[in-house]
Homo-oligomer: A and B are copies of this chain.
């Protein structure tokens, strides 16, 4: 790649050490850039850590959001190769699993939701199979006898997002990247529509390019003029994990599609025996407290889909803050400020979109160009 890059040794500062910042940093460091990541907390411990790791472009995306579906589908296609490169560079597994997903309706009322989803998948030429309840239970005998229909979605894969954080940190560092943790950026230094560096702990760190990848904290950083401030807010998710056991060991990802229920849930089995159950979606600002109702709905939803979870020990309960933009799509690419690039607002899809985001943003930093696929996601769409 190096020979096509007019800027192989640019000095790049990435603000935010989540999977997006780390993925971009890894790619740029490999290409010969001098990369520094500044992370306000510990790398990958915010939304990246809280996620469940599902790779499902159509999950919670409306059929109308065609550009986002395309972006997600492309990133999903990149995953096998990307996983191989990341595992090779880090020497670690990221728990990429390809058993696929079953999407289930629990009550008879849920069938219409499921049919609608099935039509969407067919319209998008995504591989999928309609299953009766009995057929679904043949594939996954732990499913509730109440389940009357399901969709098998073999291409909806998953990774262990926490292993991916560990691997990205290692791969980034192995490529020569500098990672500064507990190092919040206080201000971006902008003079005359041009970015020069960032202020960290009272010191100006200068650079050639800044990549803003700070998730829901991206709009909190000082120094951004109004036309370069991404319209982001945190969307709280509550989530928990259970300890699977012999006889109760799911292989596929399960998702419910409920018509009347307060919240759909997903159950995502990990190689280490954890079953991740998520997630609520709440507009509560930066509040990260668990609530009675949130945990109740997750446990109820999981229990209604797979009654056997009742006896499983709870390993952990936690919350995360998804970075949601005004239209819930990511904010990617150049801005009105020279040398300031955005890669933020990935909402529910940060894990899925990491490969395509890293490829496109690295290309922008190195060559000044991106492919058509991210043009609908520029910050400028919010200007009018």
- Chain A residues with CB under 8 Å of chain B are 242-243, 289-293, 295-296, 299-300, 302-303, 309-314, 317
Contacts and interface: CB of A to CB of B under 8 A. Distances in A.
A74 B303 CA distance: 44
**Residue with the highest number of chain B CB atoms closer than 10 Å, among A293, A300, A311, A317:** A293
A285 to B, nearest CB: 14
Contact of A296 (B291, B310, B313): B310
Contacts of A309: 292-293
Tallying the copies of this chain within the complex gives 2
Contacts of A289: 243, 313-314
Nearest to A312: B292
17 contacts: A289-B313, A290-B314, A291-B310, A291-B312, A291-B313, A292-B310, A292-B313, A292-B314, A293-B299, A293-B303, A295-B299, A295-B314, A296-B299, A296-B300, A299-B299, A300-B300, A314-B317
Contacts of A314: 289-292, 295, 317
Contacts of A242: 292
Contact of A303 (B243, B292, B310, B312): B292
Contacts of A243: 289
A311 B303 CA distance: 21
Nearest to A299: B296
Q: Point out which of A300, A302, A309, A314 has the most chain B C-beta atoms below 10 A from its C-beta.
A: A314
Contacts of A312: 291-292
The 6 tightest CB contacts between A and B, nearest first, are A293-B310, A289-B313, A296-B299, A290-B314, A292-B309, A292-B312
A266 to B, nearest CB: 15
Contact of A299 (B292, B302, B311, B313): B292
A313 B295 contact: no
A306 to B, nearest CB: 10
Nearest to A300: B296
A40 to B, nearest CB: 24
B296 A311 contact: no
Nearest to A314: B290
Contacts of A291: 310-314
A303 B309 CA distance: 21
Contacts of A311: 291-293
Given A292-B313, A296-B296, 7 more contacts: A243-B289, A290-B313, A291-B310, A291-B312, A292-B302, A296-B300, A296-B310
A331 to B, nearest CB: 31
A311 B299 CA distance: 16
Contacts of A295: 295, 299, 314
A308 to B, nearest CB: 10
A243 B5 CA distance: 56
Contacts of A317: 314, 317
A269 to B, nearest CB: 14
A169 B292 CA distance: 33
A313 B313 CA distance: 21
Contacts of A299: 292-293, 295-296, 299
Contacts of A302: 292
A378 to B, nearest CB: 38
A318 to B, nearest CB: 11
A303 B296 contact: yes
A323 to B, nearest CB: 22
